[in-house]
């Protein structure tokens, strides 16, 4: 560890399930999935400072809803690093909790990236995303055991996610698009949603995903796919139906669907101006909802650790 290391900052983008096909359930209770995922330009931010003990402080508009004890995924990830004596984590929480957009898993992935950078003396490790493959290392398997979405959040790329979340196939040529994320500020229990799903063995997506001529071609394909958890989630939280309806009724929305196990839903829009205008309309009509215009795309580069050193801080304080 470098003596001049001051802090590491990592962006933790939201994960959106554009499709979510539940294809089975294993004997250990885990469900197998087939899902197309993308990452948003909105997310949390984690600052990590090396220290002698582990601590977590939660700030930001959603910080009061986050447990800051030893059961937090950030702390659990930190405890995997036997060679790091301690770290002080400060989480700027922008994403609503228990909302189906991988917030907790994204924060855990950010902690992993930051600690890998600290372990490497401040250098970003190009191989840290290899932890998404538990077949490569026992360490990767330990990360997966903490949460099935963590490997995907470590990758933070547009990808096809299969198995229980450990099999990830990056789709490098899939372009991003503009969208609006909406959450009615109601937490949803993922285990309860899976328990309410009557049929646990549903068809997967096609073996090979098609190539899309453009956004409208992609939306047409999306309409033929599913989120198998949407119906049981609506049964548990009827407000999700209102969110989807509000998005569908917006004049510029091309498609509306729930992400993950809910309650966050996304609407697809033709461009950023349309998404921004729709987000403003939705916020005005529903001031209690969490509404954000975003771009859904690959965010792997944006999620790389940013390192600040004492030497950088000193240089910034010198007179010009």
pLDDT for position 319: 38
The question of whether 175 is a catalytic residue gets the answer no
**Residue 316 has what pLDDT?**
43
Query: Are 21 and 138 contacting, i.e. CB atoms less than 8 angstroms apart?
Result: no
Cite the residue boundaries of each domain of the chain with CATH code 3.30.230.10.
5-172
Q: Which residues pair with 161 in a beta bridge?
A: 35, 168
Cα gap 52→69, rounded to integer Å: 17
Residue 40 has a pLDDT of: 98
pLDDT score, position 135? 62
Does residue 15 have an active-site annotation? Answer: yes
For 12-37, the DSSP string reads EEEEEES-BEEEEE-TTSPEEEEEEE
For residue 320, the model assigns a pLDDT of 35
Which residue has tokens 């490098």? Answer: 172
Q: What is the pLDDT of residues 72-109, one digit of tens each?
A: 999 999 999 988 989 999 999 999 999 999 999 999 99
Q: List CB contacts of 101: < 8 A, sequence separation 6 or more.
A: 14, 15, 16, 40, 95, 181, 183, 259, 260, 264
**What confidence score (pLDDT) does residue 6 get?**
84
**Given this model, what pLDDT does residue 124 score?**
62
Fold classified for 177-297: Alpha-Beta Plaits (3.30.70)
CATH assignment of 5-172? 3.30.230.10
From 44, 107, 149, 250, active-site residue: 149
Which stretches of the chain score pLDDT less than 50?
1-2, 314-320
Q: Where do you find CATH 3.30.70.890 in the chain?
A: 177-297
């Amino acid at each position: 560890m470098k003596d001049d290391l001051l802090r590491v900052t990592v962006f933790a983008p939201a994960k959106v399930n554009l499709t979510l096909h539940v294809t089975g359930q294993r004997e250990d209770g885990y469900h197998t999935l087939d899902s197309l995922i993308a990452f948003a330009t909105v997310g949390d931010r984690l600052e990590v400072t090396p220290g002698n003990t582990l601590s977590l402080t939660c700030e930001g508009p959603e910080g009061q809803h986050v447990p800051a004890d030893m059961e937090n995924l950030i702390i659990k990830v930190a405890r995997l690093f036997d060679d790091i004596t301690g770290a002080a984590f400060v989480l700027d929480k922008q994403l609503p909790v228990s909302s189906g957009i991988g917030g907790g898993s994204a924060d855990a992935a950010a902690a992993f990236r930051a600690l890998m950078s600290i372990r490497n003396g401040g250098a970003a490790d190009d191989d840290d995303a290899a932890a998404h493959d538990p077949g490569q290392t026992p360490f990767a398997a330990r990360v997966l055991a903490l949460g099935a979405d963590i490997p995907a959040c470590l990758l933070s790329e547009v990808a096809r996610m299969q198995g229980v979340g450990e099999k990830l196939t990056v789709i490098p040529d899939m372009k991003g698009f503009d969208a609006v994320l909406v959450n009615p500020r109601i937490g949803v229990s993922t285990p309860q949603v899976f328990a309410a799903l009557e049929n646990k063995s549903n068809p997967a997506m096609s073996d090979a995903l098609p190539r899309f001529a453009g956004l409208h071609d992609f939306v047409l394909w999306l309409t033929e796919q599913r989120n198998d958890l949407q119906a049981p989630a609506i049964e548990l939280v009827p407000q999700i139906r209102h969110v989807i309806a509000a998005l569908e009724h917006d004049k510029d929305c091309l498609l509306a669907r729930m992400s993950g196990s809910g309650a966050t839903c996304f609407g697809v829009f033709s461009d950023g101006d349309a998404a921004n205008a729709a987000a403003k309309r939705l916020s005005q009509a529903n001031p209690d909802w969490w509404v954000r215009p975003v771009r859904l795309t690959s965010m792997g580069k944006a999620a790389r650790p940013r390192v600040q050193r004492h030497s950088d801080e000193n240089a910034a304080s010198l007179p010009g």
